A and B are shown apart, each in its own frame.
Chain A
Amino acid sequence: QVQLVQSGADMKRPGASVKVSCKTSEYTFANYHVHWVRQAPGQGLEWMGISRFNGGNTPFAQKFQGRLTLTRDTSTNTVYMELRSLTSEDTAVYYCATERDFAYYFNPWGQGALVTVSS
């Protein structure tokens, strides 16, 4: 059974960067893509980007181009999401979620990590 464990809540100042982790099993890391989706307080879901297990094309949502980096650490089976130049509008719960190759849906999801951006 696929399980994802995310890092805890974080608070950042405007202009700073945040790095959220998503730890999976060895099998999941090697065979599943990992997507990142965020949800601002009281708002809907917003897709951010994908980290592919096979290193293929990794498109991001246009609004995050230039600010978002997704990386993988094979030694710990962990995927990282780094978002730079934070503003208060980046305050949100950040979820990772897996996708089997060519499945086109996200299952399961991590528990979410609240990132608060405040001066």
Chain B
Amino acid sequence: QSALTQPASVSGSPGQSITISCTGTSSDVGSDNHVSWYQQHPGKAPKVMIYEGTERPSGVSNRFSGSKSGNTASLTISGLQAEDEAEYYCCSFTRTYTYVFGGGTKVTVL
């Protein structure tokens, strides 16, 4: 199972919106809505930000939103803040009942 494809880095100024893409295949991202997104700060464990493609867990800011089209899922962060600077990973359930992560995207707040 190959890793999902994410851009290595995305940057934006405070207050701006950025979008991170996550491209897979019809066997993972494109097969259903079981895509989740995780935020990881250096030296910390990952934290779920979005699940089932578009759902936000309680306690996660509504500045984070998810979407999906075909084999590509996306995470949008609006009103970018300094605390959003972190690594972001997408993850998808697959048709073989396993999971696969994306390579990660470093978000930099300029």
Contacts and interface: CB of A to CB of B under 8 A. Distances in A.
Given A59-B98, A62-B1, A105 B45 contact: no
A23 interface: no
Q: How large is the interface on A (under 10, 10 to 19, 20 to 34, 35 or more residues)?
A: 20 to 34
Nearest to B3: A44
Nearest to B32: A104
Given A62-B1, A104-B51, A105-B51, A46 B36 contact: no
A59 B104 contact: no
Q: How large is the interface on B (under 10, 10 to 19, 20 to 34, 35 or more residues)?
A: 20 to 34
Interface in B55-110: 57, 89, 91, 93, 96-104
A105 B91 contact: yes
Nearest to A6: B45
Question: Most chain-B Cβ atoms within 10 A of its Cβ — which of A60, A107, A112?
Answer: A107
B45 A95 contact: yes
Contact of A105 (B40, B52, B100, B103): B52
A44 B99 contact: no
A101 B67 CA distance: 23
A80 to B, nearest CB: 19
B50 to A, nearest CB: 8
Contact of B46 (A60, A61, A95, A104): A95
Interface of A: 35, 37, 44-47, 57, 59-62, 95, 97, 103-112
Interface of B: 1, 3, 34, 36, 38, 40, 45-48, 51-52, 57, 89, 91, 93, 96-104
